[in-house]
Amino acid sequence: MSTAVHLGTIRTKIPARLDRLPWSRFHWHVVAGLGTVWILDGLEVTIVGSIGARLIESGSGIDINAAGIGLAAAIYVGGACVGALFFGQLTDRFGRKKLMMITLSVYIIATVATGFAFAPWYFVMCRFVTGAGIGGEYAAINSAIDELIPFRGSA
């Protein structure tokens, strides 16, 4: 007994119809909102990078060395990759808006938790989760912007 699934090609004119819609205030709101999130993500990474030198000083509240700061930065990038892959699949399944809000929440909670780091392992873990949230945001932001910007090529 064969259980092979035959998948067909779905053809639709919806993207072409969306591309013909005029640019509106809604588009500007979406671009401004997503762009603001993107800018704040970059600002957070810059701030954490800037205070790294202060974290290794005695009395900083966390006993971490320069290698630990470097490890946290590398783990952050790894978390962003994992987050983009994991949340990217969920975005396709559950929708961009819902996953954008979830990943934004993950990012905010992990960033606040990073501020309360009491040990190097906790700091590194928070940076991983922060990276995962940002990776998921980037997956949602990039696909939303890609779908939002009308195609202006030759037909």
pLDDT per position as a tens digit, 35-66: 888 888 888 888 888 888 888 888 888 889 99
Higher pLDDT, 131 or 154: 131
Q: Binning pLDDT at 50, 70 and 90, where does residue 131 land?
A: very high
20: Cβ contacts below 8 Å, ≥ 6 apart: 150
Q: What is the CA radius of gyration of the chain?
A: 20
Two tokens at 141?
């932001």
Two tokens at 21?
């819609």
Give the lowest-confidence range in 1-10, 17-26, 113-122. Answer: 1-10
What global pTM score does this model have?
0.78
> Is the Cβ–Cβ distance between 95 and 128 less than 8 Å?
no
> Is the Cβ–Cβ distance between 93 and 139 less than 8 Å?
no
Question: What are residue 112's phi and psi, to 5 degrees?
Answer: -65, -40
**Per-residue pLDDT reduced to its tens digit, 135-151:** 998 888 887 777 777 66
